Structure 1
């Protein structure tokens, strides 16, 4: 399947451009959210280097940002670049669970391969990569079976329709979940207890 970021731009802008006065655009360097500078202007979600996965990730952040946060540059979030300390990395991983869970479901809906990102290659790496993977998996599973936030759900549905993945999404999820974050014996045991 040919995965073009131009298709994501078209889909996102078709679904959200007029209603939310927001557009998705390719960037050259770092991703960034730029709020509208006037009532007639558009807010811009800029994704890095024209990468498909970067677009999905930045859209996922936008989908969970509330109305006030969407008036702030980069949603008003603190961001410390690659090379974070263990404490900074722990904070980063805590706020990345929901966006990465949504990004994962978007990737499945587009037929794309998702990769967990701890985004700290020149630092100490993940503070708890296995734990982070399990948290992202659990959140993605909750979203898939209990419902995504409203805007994320709209985009998820648009992706499934465009890429024709609606019928296979649950099967694809089950296969991908084990690739990204295999359940441990302890996790399987606790899940069996929860379902009894």
Structure 2
């Protein structure tokens, strides 16, 4: 079993989080049971089901960014069995530069993944930033999106996370020595 780097409680900042630790935690949880690996990618993150050239499912995250890994993992954690057979889970994606209407559609499918990402980030003691992912698109007001993500966090705290998400949350909180429950008091809507 991989032994991730341990940081003292006082030393943790977003700059000290290693994507290699997240890869190890994810692989410990899911490499055997779901034949899925977390992989450092380059520019564009993507989920690719196993194929002739790769005998495992791969979640590629961008540039070794810890936050990108958490985000891509979150999509995988809510994808059902059939979606996990499809490239990028079969979701449409319009890149940065979306219209207001396209942005609204984007935000609707991002509520649950970003809520899980926020929960996982908090379990690690890592700062979460909501991602509208539309810097060059039509200007929109993200306040409703932020509120929807926050409400989803509250719902998950009350009703529980999906099974795989809870498994990884527990592994992350154990590794980073954070509370082993979703403490809604740690989620501040004004900070995202």
**Displacement after TM superposition at 1:79 (Å):** 0.2
Tell me if structure 2 keeps the 8 A contact 1:116–1:180: no
Q: Contact 2:78/2:162 (CA < 8 Å) preserved in 1?
A: yes
CA distance in 1, matches of 2:139, 2:51: 37
2:138 paired residue number: 124
Task: Specify every segment of 5 or more residues in structure 1 that has no aligned partner in the other structure, as ranges.
Answer: 182-196
Alpha-carbon distance in 1 for matches of 2:33, 2:164 = 11
Deviation at 1:124, TM superposition (A): 1.2
Tell me which stretches of 4 or more aligned residues in structure 1 moved more than 6 Å: none
Q: Deviation of residue 175 (structure 1)?
A: 4.1
Number of matched pairs:
177
How far off its partner does 1:168 sit? 8.1
Q: How does 1:1-196 map to 2 (within 5 A)?
A: 1=12, 2-37=16-51, 41-126=55-140, 128-166=141-179, 170=183, 173-180=184-191
RMSD: 1.6
Displacement, 1:178?
3.8
Per the TM alignment, residue 47 of structure 1 is displaced from its structure 2 partner at its CA by 0.3
TM-score computed with the length of structure 2 as normaliser: 0.88
Task: Identify, as 1 or 2, the structure richer in helix.
Answer: 1
Give the conservation status (yes or no) of the 8 Å contact 2:49–2:58: yes
Any gaps of 5 or more consecutive residues in structure 2?
1-11
Q: What's the counterpart of residue 193 of structure 1?
A: none
Contact persistence 2:43–2:63 (CA under 8 A): yes
Q: Distance in 2 between matches of 1:178 and 1:79?
A: 26
